[in-house]
Amino acid sequence: MHVLSAHAPLRLSEGWQCASTPAGAYATPAALDTLTDTHLHWIAAPVPGTIASALRASGVADEALAQPFAHSDHWYRVKIAGDGKRRLRFNGLATIAEVWLDDRKLLESDSMFIAHDVDVELNGEHMLHLCFRSIAPALGAKRPRARWRPKLAQPATLRNVRTTLLGHMSGWCPAIQPAGPWRAIELIGASPACIDRVDMRTRVEGRDGMLDITLRFFHAQAPAPHRIECGSVQATLQWQDAHTLTGSVRVPDVRLWFPHTHGEPARYAVKLNDIDLGDVGFRTIEVDRGADQQDFRLVVNGVPVFARGACWTSADIVALDASREKLESIFRLIRDAGLNIVRVSGITLYESDAFYALADEYGVMIWQDFAFANFDYPDDESFRASAQREAEQFLARTRRFASLAVLCGGSEVHQQAAMLGLPFDAYQQRLFTELLPNAIAAHRPDAAYVVNSPSAAPGDTVSMPFGTRGGITHYYGVPAYQRAFDDVRRAQVRFASECLAFANVPDDAALRALPNPRAHEPRWKSGVPRDPGSAWDFDDVREHYMQALYRIDVPRLRYENPERYLELSRAVVADVIGAVFSEWRREGSTCAGGIVWNLLDVRPGAGWGVIDVLGAPKSALHGLARVLQPVQALILDEGLDGLDVHLVNETAREIRARVELTCLREGAVKVAGGSNDIVLPPRSVQRVSSNALIGAFFDIAYAYRFGPRAHDATHVVLRDADTGTTLSEAFHFPDPSIGERRDIGLRASVEKDGEGWSLVVETAQLARWVHIVDPNYYARIDWFHLAPGGTRRIPLVARHANVRAAPEGDVCAVNALRSATYRAA
């Protein structure tokens, strides 16, 4: 809620202290008062935050924070003052919590995901205590035995406790168990005009947008006219009672909110008189199931959308709360990479209002799992009541955000049960088939609902929930199960809500943060994810494709030339990701979307994230950016039929273009080619054969093998026919192995203008996977191919806000014998 300070709740974020005690040692705050400072060590505590973030702020190293905090008691305290009626709002308490005002217990909570309001009468100064109790008694509580026990999170009785699985998943994330006030604590009513709640709903009626709004003031208000403004349109709200204003605004010919890849994420500022209430967007969301009812394609404002993005974990695994500035830097990377959807997985938690507001601003759809994953959840009355309250509160809190597009029952519940041999009927839990869809129908009917991720298409009781040819799948044929690339087409994926998990190696600056950055050593392996119980990890997956594509002896390279091993580790991920998404975006593909696992690393090292723990993009994100832009050229190898060039135009405008194809030998010599003028209709994908472009037979895919291969690479350029501007480029290598490195004439220089520092990179011969190595800056455009004679201007981004040094580093390419050194004058 973006109201002005006089009308906003007061955030209780300053002056907090916390201390930890053995579980159950002290029943009341009064018992703590008997202890001296030598027996109870109070430290300053950031709120919102966790006991782990308080320890981090006090100087405890990150590696020492992996502790079972949830099995001890943790006390927080702060002084508050005031006179008269107030409301305390606790937006999130992790996880078994008590709230005390002076010596009176106000609240007991057993869910991390439920907010609580407590009305109090203040009379001067008071001491507010929070106690976060051990979850051990709740884990041991008697409940009906589960029908299956997943390996993902331990112990199995976590199913009984409403807390995040972050911190409880060995091999997936650090064992930093959450405990503390992880969401804001607010004091409402200090101002006579304080607004208690704002509820805004939007919908589309014909060409118009409708905003329904309800405002509730904490104190009774004298009835007076109030004008609500949405954009430039105004209306008068009516008093429903002494505390509540309601009304609607109709916005004629409304500008619709689109994901940024398909249009403008249009938003309208909403104000009550001079009070800023935030922005809203107007859009419609539908799901196209296809002729066979097996598809899942998101349709936004009547426009089919190819959804591509990554799964969310947490921008701060310690505090579970990140600043708006940090979140915005992540959303900027998401947009630049051409991603248009983020899935908040059921193993995580519900994100902050700032997260969803930034998704609105940057035009990024949100697929939100409810916080349920893998378990056979209880079905008793108390659990259902808690789950319903959790769902309804989340839906009400996020009702105004246009970006919230898909709501999903949870993660891998159906898959877990099916893989353990249970029949279809056994895993149809009422939580997912009744409670959650009913809550969505009442509170967010404008969002799509998916029963689980993955799950078979509605009505399909025969297929496995993780089957690839219908419904929602988690596709790991490539890479995790080490299938050949032709499996991507054979699998006939309709929508992959998880895919493409790699141990993604960060850049050298991030590796320097590791205690020992040498691959395969124990400290390195502690940062490499693995599935529980598996004999392999995701380093092994990456190395399989290094061997298959580049035809190198990976173990020998790893110990003989570790720097080259890391360089090719980064390159191969970009190669594989590009190949898979090119297949999924081609004309005739069955696939309507893919969401990579994961967006963010949760610890230093080669994690699943395509963005490292320092906030810098990895080669995987740059690889995605090479194939996921709204206007895109893609190359598919069709064997004996040569290469197909697929031209994507997701924009609302027609594009008059020219497509040019060149086959190169030894990185510079043109041996074949051709071009054609073409019109790309709006919202279209079309295929152009390489044979049609060249106009004669040429073994461009080296499928016939009539003698030695005549070329090393194919380069396709899509240009604007009117201006000659390059719209997109694509490359194909008939032999993907790197081969011998040579001097390719790589050069780099540094420039500075009003926007900041940039690099200008040039090459005489084809440069494969050009990348920038700079200790103080990372490149906004990185891990790309550069055609012979080509030039690329690359903006540089400071790694930290306090960077004062000028750029200095190297421009490298995996086929270059030597790098190009640069240094700002």
| CATH code where residue 109 lies | 2.60.120.260
Domain that holds residue 803: 747-823
- Residue 549's pLDDT is 97
Beta bridge partners of 125: 81
How long is the chain? 825
CB 72 within 8 Å of CB 137:
no
Mean pLDDT of 735-746: 94
Same-domain status, 467 and 608: yes
Same-domain status, 367 and 516: yes
Strands 473-475 and 496-499: parallel
Same-domain status, 711 and 796: no
Q: Which amino acid is at 527?
A: G
Q: How far apart are CA 149 and CA 154, in angstroms?
A: 9
Mean pLDDT of 38-55: 94
Strands 17-21 and 73-90: antiparallel
CB 54 within 8 Å of CB 17:
no
- Residue 737's pLDDT is 95
The pLDDT-based confidence of 250 (bands split at 50, 70, 90) is very high
* pLDDT for 38 beyond 70: no
Mean pLDDT, the chain, as a whole number?
95
**Phi/psi of residue 390, nearest 5 degrees:** -60, -50
Please classify residue 538 by burial: count the beta carbons closer than 10 Å to its beta carbon, then call 0-12 exposed, 13-18 middle and 19+ buried: buried
Strand (E) or helix (H) holding 44: strand 43-44
Please classify residue 520 by burial: count the beta carbons closer than 10 Å to its beta carbon, then call 0-12 exposed, 13-18 middle and 19+ buried: middle
In a domain? residue 738:
no
In a domain? residue 2:
no
In a domain? residue 819:
yes
Segment among 24-38, 133-147, 301-315 with least mean pLDDT = 24-38
Same-domain status, 351 and 489: yes
Mean pLDDT of 49-60: 98
DSSP structure class, residue 91 = S
In a domain? residue 254:
yes
Q: How far apart are CA 479 and CA 488, in angstroms?
A: 10
DSSP structure class, residue 72 = S
The total number of structural domains that make up the chain:
5
Q: How far apart are CA 715 and CA 348, in angstroms?
A: 42
CB 254 within 8 Å of CB 207:
yes
* Residue where a domain stops, chosen among 590, 625, 660: 625
In a domain? residue 737:
no
Same-domain status, 650 and 777: no
Mean pLDDT of 50-77: 95
- Residue-by-residue DSSP string for 221-258: -----EEEEETTEEEEEEESSSSEEEEEEEETTPPPB-
Same-domain status, 612 and 642: no
Mean pLDDT of 559-585: 97
CB 669 within 8 Å of CB 689:
no
Q: How far apart are CA 485 and CA 644, in angstroms?
A: 16
CB 528 within 8 Å of CB 503:
yes
- Dihedral-angle region of residue 517 (phi above 0 means left; psi in -120 to 50 means alpha; beta otherwise): alpha
Mean pLDDT of 722-726: 96
* Residue where a domain stops, chosen among 138, 161, 188: 188
Same-domain status, 166 and 241: no
The pLDDT-based confidence of 770 (bands split at 50, 70, 90) is very high
CATH number at residue 803: 2.60.40.10
Same-domain status, 170 and 205: no
- Residue 531's pLDDT is 86
* Residue where a domain stops, chosen among 166, 188, 210: 188
Same-domain status, 272 and 408: no
pLDDT tens for 438-469 read 999 999 999 999 999 999 999 999 999 999 99
* pLDDT for 2 beyond 80: no
Same-domain status, 114 and 61: yes
Same-domain status, 248 and 104: no
In a domain? residue 670:
yes
CATH number at residue 396: 3.20.20.80
In a domain? residue 741:
no
Q: Is the pTM of this model over 0.85?
A: yes
Same-domain status, 437 and 422: yes
In a domain? residue 599:
yes
- Residue 274's pLDDT is 87
Beta strands in 102-230 (DSSP E): 104-109, 116-133, 185-188, 195-205, 208-217, 226-230
The pLDDT-based confidence of 514 (bands split at 50, 70, 90) is confident
Residue of 320, 316, 300, 238 lying closest to 272 (CA atoms) = 238
Q: Which residue has the higher pLDDT, 301 or 39?
A: 301
* pLDDT for 3 beyond 80: no
Strands 285-288 and 297-300: antiparallel
